[in-house]
Chains A and B, each alone.
Chain A
């Protein structure tokens, strides 16, 4: 595997995985998408009864199938890819299914730290932490952390950034 090693990005993966419940969270999101996308089609098909066109049934089934496959297959892969770490110097994340993305935000440049709990996340006691810098392109988001970990992380980061003088631009 020599050529592969030479081609790989010489960055080590971030140390931590997100909470295992994140897989369920992504699955639930997939299910919601399934209901939102396929549901109306199904309702229309049922409402039209015998006069319903055949292709509507086809698109309904295809949509449902795609969403179901996504729900089954993607979240575990995503769980393996999504990683994060706070080093002494930086917030470091890896994400992205098709386009892999590594984001590095030096701690000294962090301006704000936000935690966010969506309805599904609240139910699973998960949270997302967003770290923003002075750049529009800069925010680093860690999705699917355990709520306690997220709160602790936000607290530590906020303390660190407050200790850093200047306005981080």
Chain B
């Protein structure tokens, strides 16, 4: 710690948290409190318990506010919290990667935002980052800007320096709390932010095709069911239940199943549409002069994610099977320090394929045909055999097990044909997985695509590659294939180029990091020395059949 650091005064969370924190807990405990109050029929003990809980929450909030302090020194962000269990956490500022601001409805009513900063390394303290819950929206915006400046300016210690940042934030602070987090781009302040993408409502048609939305629907149903059963309402007691039951029991079994499936589908679609609206309302993606990407979105809970340009390592286009079938896709950002908690790095809601690739190219800073839609090099035929054996092998095992059970256990005879049908599906799956394999090295990026049920296309900056893992199983060794994984600090930590020939794999690594691989390579036969870095030569040298049909 430097001398200057010692002089930086500690700051407290916003005073409004004294109200907001207890209210948050009350909201969370609402079902319990409602039950306590309304099922006891005026039982005074229950009243006292409710009162006690409320008082405890207020006291807890007060203690938390009194004991939590934070400060930003020239080289660290420090947070002290806790009364019984004191916590002192500090993250070096040069490790900070992302800052995001979330504000729930309650926070927004009071003009507050939760600031979450995350570091780069995978040491736990850095990785989980620090959470300031909560500061005023103006303060959050100011802190975010200050922290994201790549090198902390000596003058800007502790963020006390009045400057254009604060001036720009000032009009945001009072009034319209829904606007404040999204205010800085649109109103033309000192930073010229370019809007890369805004919400287009036709995208909502892709919402039911995403599994996260379906999962959200499940949660929704479960929540409703919980509340209904906690309130002591038995579905059977509802007036129309008996009549309904009569009809269901009277109808044919396929009708019942069909009806249930239809009902589930309708609920799922409705849930997905609702989730989409909540998540992506007011969505806007901007990039400012310094290259900081900023995503604003959310209806009830406003979320804002900022990724500094120097943290950006690439972009990922993700196509889960359903979404792919609906000709949609989603763009995610690869940035260092962007944990899974940071909203998965989603840059755009699921959108049409062309829009997704266009945005990915925009973020990567290259034309589409040199980023996610680049004409990728196909992987050798041997890779197809590997895909086939890997898909069909386990499927055959399952199939055999299915037939064994079917022939030995009475009443399970349907299991055999069913597993056979499933096993037959393995073949097209393997073919698709092979068709999707591909990679290419452009001037600035390594592009790789893989996956069948969930297809990924990754555009990773060459300079973002911080190591290599080359893996060869016994089978791969026999046919001369290798899986090359480019290790990076962003995203999943590494992205694979699956099943390329051994010579190509090493040549790829050598082309990205020439100095590192230089003296590790064995003198190769002259034919294998083809540089994969030259896109034009590759397109010319390899026939069109060697290129991937990416549509």
- Known contacts A137-B485, A138-B487; A11 and B469 CB within 8 A of each other: no
B336 adjacent to chain A (CB < 8 Å): yes
Q: How far is the CB of B310 from chain A (nearest CB, A)?
A: 9
Complexed CA–CA distance, A102 and B336 (Å):
24
> Cβ of A103 and Cβ of B467 under 8 Å apart?
yes
* Residue from the list A104, A137, A140 in contact with B520, Cβ < 8 A: A104
> Cβ of B477 and Cβ of A104 under 8 Å apart?
no
Residue of A with least CB distance to B122:
A136
> Cβ of A90 and Cβ of B480 under 8 Å apart?
no
Contact with B along A76-98 (1 / 0, CB 8 A): 00000000000101101000101
Report chain B residues within 8 Å CB of A102. Answer: 468-471
Q: How far is the CB of B383 from chain A (nearest CB, A)?
A: 14
Complexed CA–CA distance, A106 and B487 (Å):
11
- Known contacts A138-B493, A169-B489; A106 and B516 CB within 8 A of each other: yes
A53 adjacent to chain B (CB < 8 Å): no
Q: How far is the CB of B158 from chain A (nearest CB, A)?
A: 22
Report chain A residues within 8 Å CB of B518. Answer: 89
How many inter-chain contacts with C-beta < 8 Å in the A-B complex? 130
> Cβ of A10 and Cβ of B470 under 8 Å apart?
no
Complexed CA–CA distance, A167 and B488 (Å):
13
Complexed CA–CA distance, A10 and B519 (Å):
11
Q: How far is the CB of A164 from chain B (nearest CB, A)?
A: 12
B474 adjacent to chain A (CB < 8 Å): yes
A133 adjacent to chain B (CB < 8 Å): yes
Complexed CA–CA distance, A56 and B62 (Å):
62
Report chain A residues within 8 Å CB of B488. Answer: 135
Q: Which of A12, A87, A106, A137 has the most CB of B within 10 A?
A: A137
B472 adjacent to chain A (CB < 8 Å): yes
Report chain B residues within 8 Å CB of A136. Answer: 122, 492-494
A47 adjacent to chain B (CB < 8 Å): no
Report chain A residues within 8 Å CB of B528. Answer: 6, 10
Report chain A residues within 8 Å CB of B485. Answer: 137
B502 adjacent to chain A (CB < 8 Å): yes
Complexed CA–CA distance, A5 and B524 (Å):
9
Contact with B along A24-64 (1 / 0, CB 8 A): 00000000000000000000000000000000000000000
Interface residue stretch chosen among B81-89, B293-301, B367-375, B503-511: B503-511
Interface residues of A in 102-116 (CB under 8 A from B): 102-106, 109, 111-112
Interface residues of B in 95-111 (CB under 8 A from A): 95, 97
> Cβ of B466 and Cβ of A9 under 8 Å apart?
no
Residue of B with least CB distance to A13:
B522
Q: How far is the CB of B539 from chain A (nearest CB, A)?
A: 25
Q: Which of A112, A133, A135, A140 has the most CB of B within 10 A?
A: A135
Complexed CA–CA distance, A137 and B489 (Å):
9
Q: How far is the CB of A102 from chain B (nearest CB, A)?
A: 4
Complexed CA–CA distance, A102 and B473 (Å):
12
Interface residues of B in 504-551 (CB under 8 A from A): 505-506, 509, 513, 515-522, 524-525, 528
Complexed CA–CA distance, A121 and B472 (Å):
29
Residue of A with least CB distance to B501:
A7
Interface residues of B in 269-325 (CB under 8 A from A): 311
Complexed CA–CA distance, A115 and B120 (Å):
22
Complexed CA–CA distance, A100 and B494 (Å):
18
> Cβ of A135 and Cβ of B472 under 8 Å apart?
no
Residue of B with least CB distance to A2:
B525
Complexed CA–CA distance, A12 and B522 (Å):
5
Binding site for B on A (CB under 8 A): 5-12, 87, 89-90, 92, 96, 98-106, 109, 111-112, 132-138, 140, 167-169
Beyond contacts A12-B520, A100-B477, A111-B121: 12 other A-B pairs, Cβ-Cβ < 8 A, are: A11-B521, A90-B516, A99-B474, A102-B470, A103-B467, A104-B509, A134-B122, A135-B489, A137-B469, A167-B95, A169-B120, A169-B336
5 pairs of A and B residues whose beta carbons are closest in the complex: A7-B480, A134-B489, A137-B494, A136-B493, A137-B493
Contact sample, A vs B, 6 pairs, CB 8 Å cutoff: A99-B473, A99-B474, A104-B468, A134-B121, A136-B493, A169-B97
